[in-house]
Amino acid sequence: MQKEIVLLHGWGMNRQVWQLLEKELQGAIDGQVKSLDLPGFGHAQMPEKPYSLSSAAALIAEQLADNTTLVGWSLGGLVALHIANHYPQKVNKVVFIASTPFFAESNNWSGIKVEVLENFKAQLLDNSAKTIERFLAIQAMGSEHAKQDVKQLRAWLLEAPEANSEALSAGLDILLNDDYREVFSTLEQPIYGLFGKLDSLVPRRSITKMKALNSNFQVEILPKASHAPFISHRTESLNFLKSVL
């Protein structure tokens, strides 16, 4: 049976962000490649239960064949990690793209400042579109193609329905509160990571911490990329994915 590779997007986005990489990856590997919308984003329905990492991951897990390789960007990486831990028969490998088992900055852990995430939550209530626009800018910050990256992300974002406001708010809560470092450190499946050296949301220091947590974590850091390396550096990202898939 052909292996299946499933791509999971990040907060505020939808599966359209993968369209170029998905096509190129499909032509480069022996397997079926597809992308899914996270619950409440794009065309995906909301969970019936209160929105959480667990309820969102359960809906994704229902759509997976056994022994799937999960590629998760940002928030999508946390979803992939949860599924690998709670539905191990579904996942044979996890690939992080600019993701981390814990997004918030805390004692001895580099991440997004708590006040930044809390400000995003407050701004969502006033103007969700403006909040997402600001998040797009932060994701591209530092990239040598920042303006083009934001323009491309924005265009893809508009190709699907607007994200559910509850999913947006709950997604920020997940980024703020869900700590999967222990899960990451004991994960039985192989796990790989692609990062941008200029990423302000997943700082390079956190990558060092991740490698200390899990000695089997194999990473590649692109020196001129930021939080969306698969957009700004598609060729390098494709080569990395081909090497680990």
**Which residues are the active-site residues?**
74, 199, 227
* CATH number for the domain formed by residue range(s) 4-244: 3.40.50.1820
pLDDT digits (tens, 9 = 90+) for 69-111: 999 999 999 999 999 999 999 999 999 999 999 999 999 999 9
Q: What is the pLDDT of residues 134-170, one digit of tens each?
A: 999 998 888 888 899 899 999 999 999 999 999 999 9
Q: Which residues pair with 112 in a beta bridge?
A: 104
Name the one residue in this structure whose structure tokens are 């490698």: 211
pLDDT digits (tens, 9 = 90+) for 1-18: 568 999 999 999 999 999
- Average pLDDT over every residue of 199-227: 96
Question: Domain-by-domain residue ranges, the chain?
Answer: 4-244
- Calpha distance 182→94 (Å, rounded): 16
For the question of whether the overall pTM of this predicted structure is more than 0.95, the answer is yes
